[in-house]
Amino acid sequence: MKSLSGIPASSGIAIAKAFVFLDDDEPIIPRYSIGATELAAEWERFMVALERAREDIVALRDRALREMGEEHSAIFDAHLMMLEDIDLMENIEASLNDSLLNIEWVLHQYSMSVVKQLESLSDPHFQERSADVHDITHRILNHLMFRERFSLADLPDDVVLVAYNLLPSDMISMNRQRVKGIVMDAGGKTSHTAILARAFEIPAVLGLAGSVRSIRNGEMVVVNGQSGQVIIEPDTDTLVRYENVRASLLARNSDLAAFAKMPALTKDGQAVILKANIEVPEETESVLRHGAHGIGLFRSEFLFLQPGRAPSEEDQFSAYQRVLTAMEGKPVTIRTLDVGGDKVVPDMAMAAEKNPLLGWRAIRYCLSDTEMFQNQLRAILRASVYGDARIMFPMISGPDELDAALHALAKAKSDCRKLGQSFREDIPVGIMIEIPSAALIADLLAPKVDFFSIGTNDLIQYTIAVDRGNERVAYLHEPFHPAVLRLIQKVIADGHAAGISVSMCGEMASDPAAAVVLLGLGLDEYSMSAASVPLIKRVLGAVSLAEARSIAEAVMKMPSHSHIDTYLRGRLDSLEIQE
């Protein structure tokens, strides 16, 4: 039995035999000399293979469009753009003419140089674009060399898919009923593989150095998408334990499915609003299936993660329109672009910074890139006539920043009017409270907006001064730190004093113990992963509003998170509230 640790990219437990998908990352490429008289014929071979590769990609794009929508099909639009790149064609033709070597070798050498340049960059998003170059090059080489590429659509058995890297076309075309889990050497939480694995609800662990060397075809593999642990050939006790965990998760999900169809009510009949967070439009089906009241956070960053170019106003309008239409009148809160820090987006001129988490990010970046910001605001406004849309600005630190964002929105409205474009004039506008300075002056910010949404992931990080991505100090990222709870209490009180609603869209909203405390503190709305909604419905349905207030009152008097943790475990057990 061996154990590997990587990046937990998509939650869940998978147990199946490994299928190691090598796909000839380093195929044997022929190398031979050609004469000057053969150049035209060699170039013609390349153009024929290029056209066949284009036909492959168009077919994949059309399938992605039918099954998943424009955001995922845009991956292949970018591939088509690369095939039409004039510089690419000129460089390959020049290399062919200069070297007088066969076109397979010329193409291979050129692509390897591009991949090497991308992988040498510090930005992980540019590193991940090397997968797109691999995809296109292999496709052309396959046609040049008459090689048949194994299709993951043809998997005959249930497997844990193990690969050095998975190309976007692999993820789109694979048999998703057979792929129970994914283990990959490359990739991170923002890679195409991670985003698509979450959309497909396939447990995945990425960033595992050497997994393709450590795991053999047919070996039993356990994938723990929550912890990032991968166990190879587990012993009997370990296998039984994980089978029990998986069975418990499946049984719990089955039991919780009934709660998805029930109203969200406390034990004494008080209504609670539970919404879902999404990253891609395709998640709306999951939002509705799990019984959420709407979307409390649509992270628009995904639209900007596609290679090739930033999304146009029309691209964004189409995505927002699809989500609003699919939600059938339920509210959808669209957060404006939140990039920078640990979310660097390709094709954007984002400078390297010594301390990016405290730097040029989120609303600060948007206010500096006025054209991009206006495109996004107009797209949201135009889509607002298709449903109950709301706009939310991230990482507001004070009144001046908020005023600047509201001014930008006013300009976008004015431009829509001039162009005769319909939009909802009274579209609700809110802000994320995720910086201590904003929490401390929430009373000054509240009169300017229609709602607050507390982003605890960053609020905890900035309040306690702990990088949540640093494993050495991750233990300090504690939601029940008294300072964090006091800031949350103040934000709720200041919001209510100004007559606006207060929600939470951070991970804390999906924690059962925290959900009870937040109910007692007066939180109006929760927003979480769609799969968490039924659980929180069940938890809040087991407690009365009076009990929640009593618990919150006791918690707010405690001196440390350890005291609070101990108290909550005991109190919730006494109320028979179980996760």
- Which strands make up the sheet holding 159-163, listed edge to edge? 2-5, 229-232, 220-224, 13-21, 159-163, 179-184, 204-206, 7-10
Closest CA to 447 of 426, 459, 429, 423: 429
Kind and range of the H or E run holding 566: helix 561-574
Q: Which two tokens stand for residue 184?
A: 């990959």
State the Cα–Cα distance between residues 73 and 145, nearest whole angstrom.
27
How far is the CA of 218 from the CAs of 24, 215, 241, in angstroms?
19, 9, 21
State the Cα–Cα distance between residues 78 and 63, nearest whole angstrom.
15
Q: Which residues lie below 8 Å from residue 375, measured CB to CB, with a gap of 6+?
A: 312, 313, 316
State the maximum Cα–Cα separation within the chain, in Å, rounded to a whole number.
89
DSSP characters for 404-431? HHHHHHHHHHHHHHHTT----TT--EEE
Closest CA to 539 of 567, 573, 506, 562: 573
State the Cα–Cα distance between residues 576 and 547, nearest whole angstrom.
13
Looking at 108, 134, 138, 192, which residue is catalytic?
A: 192
Q: Which two tokens stand for residue 242?
A: 């994980």
How does strand 7-10 pair with strand 204-206?
A: antiparallel
Is 366 annotated in the active site? no
Return the exposure string of 295-321: e unless at least 16 CB atoms fall within 10 Å of the residue's CB, then b: bbbbbbbbbbbbbbebbebebbbbbbb
Return the exposure string of 220-248: e unless at least 16 CB atoms fall within 10 Å of the residue's CB, then b: ebbbbbeebbbbbebeeeebeebeeebee
Closest CA to 446 of 494, 398, 379: 494
Q: Which two tokens stand for residue 354?
A: 């010594």
- 3-state DSSP call for residue 299? strand
Is 192 annotated in the active site? yes
CB 241 within 8 A of CB 44: no
Angle between the N-to-C axes of helices 86-99 and 103-119, in degrees from 0 to 180, rounded to the nearest 10: 130
Looking at 125, 477, 505, 561, which residue is catalytic?
A: 505
Residues annotated as part of the active site: 192, 505
